[in-house]
Amino acid sequence: MTFPVPEPPELRLLARLLVVYIAVLVALPVQMLLNGDAVARSIMRNNPSLDPAHLDFAVAGAHIYSGGLHALDIVLTLWLVLKLRKGRTWARVAFSGYLVFASLASLVSAAAGSEYLWAVIASDALHVVMFALLWWPRRVREYFAAARSKAS
């Protein structure tokens, strides 16, 4: 679909930042897999009443949860960014909602332990920058306005 307004450079920058964000999303579960002892300590620190006999199950659950959730995040964010780069306003709104939700959800990782703060800080910084790129630049607002008027 061709619009009267070309895709703004801010959306191309957002797509590049998405690649960095995906790297962070992949790195956290990989770190957890490579350092299962730290995951076990984090689980015991946050749930001291856990029966040690169930610790291996809890660690496996944390790995599955983290890997599965981040894989879903990757698929969803790639799809939404592809759609918003085509001028789909609904994708812009949905991706914005995702960014806000993901920032709030990152508090779970922050609360789990300081060993995960690097991922929280990096991902939340990217959330803020990507959100700003979607709504702040005039060229982006004009792009979506033109796409909306062309669809009408």
Q: Where are the domains of the chain?
A: 9-151
Instruction: Examine the pLDDT at 120 and tell me if it is beyond 70.
Output: yes
What is the number of H-type helices and E-type strands within the chain?
A: 6, 0
State if pTM tops 0.85.
yes
Rounded distance between C-alpha atoms, residue 64 and residue 22, angstroms: 18
Q: Give the C-alpha separation, 33 to 26, whole Å.
A: 11
Instruction: Note whether 24 and 123 are within 8 A (CB).
Output: yes
CA pair distance 128, 125, nearest whole angstrom: 5
pLDDT digits (tens, 9 = 90+) for 137-148: 999 999 999 988
Look up residue 81 and give its amino acid. V
**What 3-state DSSP class applies to 105?**
helix
